[in-house]
Amino acid sequence: MNAADLPPELAQPATPGLIDAVRSIAQGSLAGRAYAIDRGAYPVDLLKQLAAAGAMSAHLEKADGTPGDYGLAILAMAEAAKVCGATGFMMWCQCVAGLYLQASGNPALTGERLARHVRGETLGGTGLSNPMKSFAQIESLLLKATPVDGGYVVNGVLPWVSNLAPDHYFGAIAAVQTDGPGASREMMFMLRCNAPGVTLKACPEFSGMEGTGTFSVHCKDLIVGADDIVADPAKPTIARIRGCFVLLQCGIAAGIIQGAIDSMWAVEGQLGHVNQFLEDRPADLQAEFDALAGRILKLAETPFDTSTDYFIDVLDARAHGAELCLRAANSALMHQGARGYLMGSEVQRRVREAQFVAIVTPAIKHLRKEIARLSAEEMPA
């Protein structure tokens, strides 16, 4: 998604500096390492560099109270994802971890910890895949929190949490174990990977996106104190930030789609005479993508809208992004032919990145199920 491709009213001329800075990192050092990242090299230095440039904090409210710019955060993510989908995904992880810290209103999280996160001195992720599916009535919560003096003791295992290393942290949600009747409750906290009782275990090999710092996280009697609490109860905070969470993911899809379209044009001179017989030609995909990008940036103007209709629009834009990713990446492979099928080709890698966008929570099927659930007319039971 080039700012130049967008309708003039949606382009972001006010802060061209950030996009230029991200582009220079993406097309410079990131481009040369994208294949290695896909195969398993976690690019901690590049992520810190991108964060330091402001690429993962544009959406956060500024110190003077100026609201964050979600459109800019999405464009920055897309600029990197165009070159490396895995990096775009890790930028999203860092973006939402920052959102949790800020939304907590907990001075222990919003002060120096947030500042260091924004500067890229520390990195974090999100373990909300399971809770988001739990709230959409797709699966049950895997972490359990038992109240104790001054906090909770947390037990359980989360599979597949990304952008982690021993000194990182991520947002997590646990079901609070309460005795007797009363409404069930969840609490949200920042889980420090180096806290006593936490073990990171390697996951089996995935077909791509291997350098994303993805581990299963085992918690055995992990003590969570007041300093790490993001929200207790968690649901009101989740209701406020769920739109932001899903909307920001659109940046990954946007980059992958644009990267795929660019790779079709790259062979048009030589192969246009045969490629003209393919469906999903680059101009058609670009037109569909530009309309989608316009919708995403329009939604990004009101990220904290909590209405059901707004959230359905966000879920649908995210689903459209994933569907278009699959079509664009696959069509790019058809357009490039054998050279795109080489193991080291970005075109081949992008097919796997697109598949990731389509299956990562919320996957296309989860998005549709949630839209159906939210659209149903409520009646007496």
Partner 1 sequence: MTPQPTPVSAAVQTLAPWQSYICHACGYIYNEAEGDPDSGLAAGTRFTDIPEDWACPLCGVTKSDFELYEAPSLDALRAQASDCATAWTNTSRSAHGVTIVGAGRAGWQLAEALRARDSTIPITIVTACAGDVYDKPLLSVALARRIAPEKLIKETGAAAARRLKLRLLPHTQAVRICRETRQLRTTRGTLRYDQLVLAHGAKASLPPALPAALCWRINHLGAYLKLREALGDAATTGPKDVLIVGAGLIGSELANDLALGGHRVTLLDVQPEPLARWHADKAGAQVLQAWKDLSIRFVGEVKVASVERLALDAERLWQPQPAGTACAGQTTRLRITTECGQHFAADEVIVAAGLQTPSRLAQSAGLAWQNGIAVEPQTLRTSDERIHAMGDCITLDGQASRFIEPIARQARTIAAAITACEPVPYEPKATVIRVKTTSMPLTLH
Stretch that binds partner 1, among 2-10, 240-248, 285-293, 350-358 (CB under 8 A): 285-293
Shortest CB 204 distance to partner 1, Å: 6
Residue 370's alpha-carbon distances to 135, 174, 313, 374, in angstroms, are: 10, 21, 12, 6
298 binds partner 1 (CB under 8 A): no
Residues 209-268 that bind partner 1 (CB under 8 A): 216, 218
How many residues belong to the site for partner 1 (CB under 8 A)?
37
335 binds partner 1 (CB under 8 A): no
- CB atoms under 10 Å from CB of 288, counted, come to 17
134 binds partner 1 (CB under 8 A): no
Exactly one of 108, 195, 312, 334 binds partner 1 (CB under 8 A); which one?
312
CA 125 to chain centre: 9
What is the SS3 string spanning 203-252?
CCCCCCCCCCCCEEEEEEEEEEEHHHEEECCCHHHHHHHHHHHHHHHHHH
- The CB-side HSE value for 104 (13 A sphere, CA atoms) comes to 26
Exactly one of 138, 165, 316, 334 binds partner 1 (CB under 8 A); which one?
316
Shortest CB 370 distance to partner 1, Å: 9
Residue with the two structure tokens 């966008």: 357
Stretch that binds partner 1, among 17-25, 83-91, 119-127, 369-377 (CB under 8 A): 369-377
Exactly one of 23, 33, 185, 369 binds partner 1 (CB under 8 A); which one?
369
Beta-carbon contacts of 304 under 8 Å, excluding residues fewer than 6 positions away, are: 240, 241, 243, 244
283 binds partner 1 (CB under 8 A): no
Residues 162-201 that bind partner 1 (CB under 8 A): 201
Q: Please answer whether residues 122 and 102 qualify as being in contact, where contact means their C-beta atoms are separated by less than 8 angstroms.
A: no
Q: Look up residue 197 and give its DSSP letter.
A: T
AA letter at 184: S
Residues that bind partner 1 (CB under 8 A): 130, 139-140, 142, 156-157, 159-160, 201, 203-204, 216, 218, 279-280, 287-288, 291, 309, 312-313, 316, 319-320, 323, 327, 368-369, 371-372, 375-381
